[in-house]
A and B are shown apart, each in its own frame.
Chain A
Amino acid sequence: MKQLLYIYIALFSTVIFDQNQSLFEQGNQLYNDGKYAEAIEKYEAILNTNNHSEALYFNLANSHYKLNHIAPSIYYYEKALQLAPDNQDIKNNLAFAKNMTIDAIDVLPEAGFSKLSKKVTDIMSFDNWAKVAVGSVLMFVIIFLLYYVTYSTGKKRLAFITSNLFLFLAIFSVVIAFHKYNLSKKDQPAIVFAQETVIKSEPNKRSQELFRLHEGTKVQILDTVNQWKEIKLADGKIGWIENEDIKEL
């Protein structure tokens, strides 16, 4: 019975996979023919099967860009960048899409230790750091056993030093993985979808207007109260925005 289920699941997933591939190709064809809205429909059909890829997001964003949809195109470029942070094409087209936005926001530069730590943690995702940690632990144990088994002093010394190095690497990776995990839990970017929206000083309508944001601006969500989200801009400004005006990445 269980085996049957597994077989069924396996078959079903491959069917979906094939479907998605054909949808993707149809979408690409429509895009090439200039039928961007129809291409978007095809791409979104893939998303509805709970599957994604950076290429899919990239193509969706391109289609929205061609239709001059500011916020959706930036949204999907950012989505694509989340899956492939170093892709040059995505960065290039995102720059094109960002040209369409109205808000000019200066990014606060980071300096000193925080810049360094960001550089180190951004080398890999926390999952990969976790894998590195597991690998290092394995190497440590093997080399430590070698140290235990070998008799010659030179070999023993070498094995001891390398095993300790691996142990250190393992601990370091676990720490970084936790750090990165916490960072990514805190990192809740969102894109402003409303054409123009008012940022308030408190999470209610009667409070004072702080500033205005326009479609396509990227913000960080800090907190949620009822129908409001506290957001932070890249230049450090903080305020409250209504839920429906933004879309979380």
Chain B
Amino acid sequence: MKFQKHILIVVFALSTAFGFTQNDSSNEVKFETKVSKKKLGVNERLRIDFEMNKDGDNFNPPGFDNFMVVGGPSQSISNQWINGVRSFSKTYSYFLAPKERGNFKIGQATIEIDGEVYKTLPVDITVTAAVEIPKDPNDPDYIVQQNIHLVAEVSKTNPYINEAITVVYKLYVSDNTGVSNWRELDVPRYNDFWSQNIDMKGVKIENGTYNGEDYRFVVLRKTVLYPQKTGKLDIEPLTLDISVQVPTNRRDIFGRRLMTQAHRTVSAGNKTIDVKPLPEVGKPADFSGAVGDFSFNVTMSKTELKASESLEAKVEVKGKGNLKLINLPKISLPSSLEVYEPEHNENVQTNLEGMQGSISDTYTVVPQYKGKYPTPSISFSYFDLKTETYKRLDSKEIVIDVLEGPTSGASSNDNIAANNLKQPVVLSSEQFAYIKTKSNFTSITPSYFFQTKLFWSSLLLPFLAIPLAIVIRRKKAERDADIFGNRMRAADRLAKKYLSHAKKALGKKEAFYIALEKALHNYLKAKLNIETSDFSKDIIKNLLGERKVDAQIIADFISILESCELARYTPINIVTMQQDYEKAAKTISLIDKQAS
């Protein structure tokens, strides 16, 4: 028993010494404490090594107050020369059994090396309740349980929905056992996840620690998962059947342990992942579940072409994230372009960090008519995990210019003017018309004629003309029938016509009589057609007599003429003037009536 332990110690010391030569080529003095476990049951044992890389004297172990020293101190020394470099290691080992439960500190050990005192660091040890120790510590099942562990490592336990997480299954095997073969009994199905296994090329054995102890490990399986549901999701465990080489108690003639084969079923524990929903705040309307880091662009294979030629429009999203789970935004093109169903392309690689690459939709577009077709910009929104915000990318607006082809407008076809040997003249009405060069500006606020006052009055007033005309006509007929009245009115008109000057001069003696005389002469001139030169009373008498005017009226007329001549030399008052005026008016009208 003791011998075994010593060999173990020597092997241990050798291996650690090997480590030292690699890590520490300098001559620095090292003195440290190593414990086999930091956590143990009260019924277990603990091994503690004090190790130095230079020989020293006066080793002074710490007081193991809460422990019982079961074995030790034992001493081992190893010397190595590798490539001419010497490495040395000396170890003091103790086996300790805890006295009670609790957290204990193992104090400092001291040693004197080359005249100087070195101290180790204190070590904390946790002693827990008694653990079950099988009766036979050499039982292979027990050894396997203690030395082989299957672990599922999840990169993130509270991801966002659609955020990539990875699950890595590692098989930890302690140094003193060996795994010869394994078989997957139960492959986990990842419900509520989009999953992809990453192919492992060969098995690579690596060194690592598990629960603070050195182990070798093998990565069995790597899986990228994209949670598709929020809430708590379970990852099913992976179960393996392993064939293990376990050391036995027996040894061969060289003192090496004999190994036995054991089968063991191990499974990685159930893992629960809490998937967060994406924030509702600021969620764009066109968000379709893309999570990651993307770039977005829309490209056209050509932008200038003839009608009925084809072009390809490509909507592409590049980057990292749940690319295979994204719905690409649809391109919206003018309705007069013929657009065919898109062809979907995926160029996505999946590694431990998730999917990356690009996905694209390629549309074939065939324009039918001449013209310009701007394709409106389309947007693509995604959730950026770095900033934890939504981001929106807009494509550029691209104009497709169809240079030649029929027009879709209502333009007529009778454009060809002449179809003989001469060059036909084609009216370019299917061209985009140039701007107008002349303009008559009118007010932008319209002034309507309809339903205005002017409209109603001009519509209805003419109707009033009809009764008016009828009334006027009736009145006229009445007046035509009234002969005496007509005469009177005619005389009045005459008097007014000839005596208006005299009337104005009424009151001024000379002016009045001159005007009156002139008026009478004028009247006669107009009525009897006589000239001023042969204007004498006798002629007047004769002429009026010829026209069958009463002698009395003629006498009156003459007397008025005489009084006109007389009045210039005699004083006359206004009353006489008035009388003369009225007399003249009366006489004129009478003459007019009687003269034929």
- What is the chain A residue whose CB lies nearest that of B374? A68
Q: Quick one: given A53-B441, A93-B433, A102-B333, are A137 and B462 in contact (CB under 8 Å)?
A: yes
Q: How far is the CA of A215 from the CA of B333 in the complex (A)?
A: 11
Q: Quick one: given A88-B429, A134-B458, are A20 and B441 in contact (CB under 8 Å)?
A: yes
| Interface residue from A62, A63, A127, A141 paired with B465 (Cβ < 8 Å) | A141
Residue among A20, A24, A127, A134 with the most chain B CB within 10 A? A134
Query: Are A103 and B409 neighbours in the complex by a CB distance under 8 Å?
Result: no
| Interface residue from B408, B443, B444, B469 paired with A99 (Cβ < 8 Å) | B408
Query: How far does the Cβ of A92 sit from chain B's closest Cβ, in whole Å?
Result: 5
A233 within 8 A of B: no
Total chain A interface residues with beta-carbon distance under 8 A:
59
Query: Are B450 and A141 neighbours in the complex by a CB distance under 8 Å?
Result: no
Query: Are B410 and A91 neighbours in the complex by a CB distance under 8 Å?
Result: yes
Query: How far does the Cβ of B472 sit from chain A's closest Cβ, in whole Å?
Result: 11
- What is the chain A residue whose CB lies nearest that of B411? A92
Query: Are B409 and A92 neighbours in the complex by a CB distance under 8 Å?
Result: yes
Q: Quick one: given A51-B443, A53-B441, are A96 and B450 in contact (CB under 8 Å)?
A: no
Q: Quick one: given A24-B439, A68-B374, A100-B374, are A95 and B466 in contact (CB under 8 Å)?
A: no
**Which residues 123-160 of A have a CB within 8 angstroms of B?**
126-127, 129-131, 133-134, 137-138, 140-141, 144-145, 148
Query: Are B450 and A130 neighbours in the complex by a CB distance under 8 Å?
Result: yes
Query: Are A53 and B374 neighbours in the complex by a CB distance under 8 Å?
Result: no
Q: Quick one: given A103-B335, A174-B459, A214-B332, are A53 and B450 in contact (CB under 8 Å)?
A: no
- How does the 8 Å CB contact mask read for A5-36 relative to B, with 1 for contact and 0 for none? 00000000000010011001000100100000
Q: How far is the CA of A29 from the CA of B460 in the complex (A)?
A: 51
Q: How far is the CA of A96 from the CA of B369 in the complex (A)?
A: 9
Chain B residues, Cβ within 8 Å of A138: 458, 462
Q: How far is the CA of A140 from the CA of B459 in the complex (A)?
A: 11
Query: Are B463 and A141 neighbours in the complex by a CB distance under 8 Å?
Result: yes
| Interface residue from B376, B440, B470 paired with A102 (Cβ < 8 Å) | B376
A117 within 8 A of B: no
Query: Are B442 and A99 neighbours in the complex by a CB distance under 8 Å?
Result: no
**Which residues 27-55 of A have a CB within 8 angstroms of B?**
28, 31, 46-47, 50-55
Q: How far is the CA of A195 from the CA of B394 in the complex (A)?
A: 13
A177 within 8 A of B: yes
Query: Are A127 and B442 neighbours in the complex by a CB distance under 8 Å?
Result: no
A201 within 8 A of B: no
Q: How far is the CA of A63 from the CA of B430 in the complex (A)?
A: 18
Q: Quick one: given A92-B429, A102-B332, A148-B469, are A50 and B443 in contact (CB under 8 Å)?
A: yes
Q: How far is the CA of A50 from the CA of B331 in the complex (A)?
A: 41
Chain B residues, Cβ within 8 Å of A17: 441
- What is the chain A residue whose CB lies nearest that of B435? A59
A56 within 8 A of B: yes
Interface of B is mostly: loop
Query: Are A104 and B445 neighbours in the complex by a CB distance under 8 Å?
Result: no
Query: Are A100 and B459 neighbours in the complex by a CB distance under 8 Å?
Result: no
Chain B residues, Cβ within 8 Å of A104: 335-336
Q: Quick one: given A68-B399, A91-B409, A196-B332, are A129 and B444 in contact (CB under 8 Å)?
A: no
B593 within 8 A of A: no
- What is the chain B residue whose CB lies nearest that of A217? B335
Query: Are B438 and A55 neighbours in the complex by a CB distance under 8 Å?
Result: yes
A101 within 8 A of B: yes
| Interface residue from A91, A127, A134, A196 paired with B376 (Cβ < 8 Å) | A196
B451 within 8 A of A: yes
Q: Quick one: given A55-B438, A145-B465, are A68 and B397 in contact (CB under 8 Å)?
A: yes
Q: Quick one: given A31-B435, A53-B440, are A130 and B332 in contact (CB under 8 Å)?
A: no
Query: Are A100 and B334 neighbours in the complex by a CB distance under 8 Å?
Result: yes
Query: Are A96 and B432 neighbours in the complex by a CB distance under 8 Å?
Result: yes
A228 within 8 A of B: no
Q: How far is the CA of A115 from the CA of B399 in the complex (A)?
A: 39
Query: Are A215 and B439 neighbours in the complex by a CB distance under 8 Å?
Result: no
Query: How far does the Cβ of A104 sit from chain B's closest Cβ, in whole Å?
Result: 4
Query: Are A65 and B334 neighbours in the complex by a CB distance under 8 Å?
Result: no
- How does the 8 Å CB contact mask read for B366-388 relative to A, with 1 for contact and 0 for none? 00010111101100000000000
Q: How far is the CA of A54 from the CA of B560 in the complex (A)?
A: 80
Chain A residues, Cβ within 8 Å of B372: 65, 68, 96, 99-100
Q: How far is the CA of A148 from the CA of B466 in the complex (A)?
A: 9
Query: Are A70 and B429 neighbours in the complex by a CB distance under 8 Å?
Result: no
A168 within 8 A of B: no
Chain B residues, Cβ within 8 Å of A94: 409
Q: Quick one: given A31-B435, A47-B444, A91-B409, are A129 and B335 in contact (CB under 8 Å)?
A: no
A58 within 8 A of B: yes
Q: How far is the CA of A127 from the CA of B374 in the complex (A)?
A: 40
Query: How far does the Cβ of B414 sit from chain A's closest Cβ, in whole Å?
Result: 13
Chain A residues, Cβ within 8 Å of B440: 53, 55
- What is the chain A residue whose CB lies nearest that of B433? A89
Query: Are B450 and A99 neighbours in the complex by a CB distance under 8 Å?
Result: no
Query: Are A50 and B445 neighbours in the complex by a CB distance under 8 Å?
Result: yes
- How does the 8 Å CB contact mask read for B1-31 relative to A, with 1 for contact and 0 for none? 0000000000000000000000000000000
Query: How far does the Cβ of B451 sit from chain A's closest Cβ, in whole Å?
Result: 7
| Interface residue from A50, A59, A63, A99 paired with B334 (Cβ < 8 Å) | A99
- What is the chain B residue whose CB lies nearest that of A133? B459
Please name the 8 residue pairs, one residue from A and one from B, whose CB atoms are nearest each other, closest first: A95-B409, A104-B335, A55-B436, A55-B439, A130-B450, A99-B371, A51-B441, A141-B462
A-B contact pairs, 27 of them (CB 8 A): A20-B441, A24-B439, A28-B437, A50-B445, A51-B442, A52-B442, A53-B439, A55-B438, A55-B440, A68-B374, A92-B409, A92-B429, A94-B409, A95-B411, A96-B372, A99-B371, A100-B373, A102-B333, A103-B335, A127-B450, A131-B449, A134-B455, A137-B458, A138-B458, A141-B466, A145-B465, A177-B450
- A-B contacts besides A95-B409, A100-B334, A127-B450, 9 pairs, CB < 8 Å: A24-B439, A59-B435, A91-B410, A95-B407, A98-B408, A100-B372, A102-B335, A137-B462, A148-B466
A interface residue numbers (CB < 8 A to B): 17, 20-21, 24, 28, 31, 46-47, 50-56, 58-59, 62-63, 65, 68, 70, 88-89, 91-96, 98-104, 126-127, 129-131, 133-134, 137-138, 140-141, 144-145, 148, 170, 174, 177, 181, 195-196, 214-215
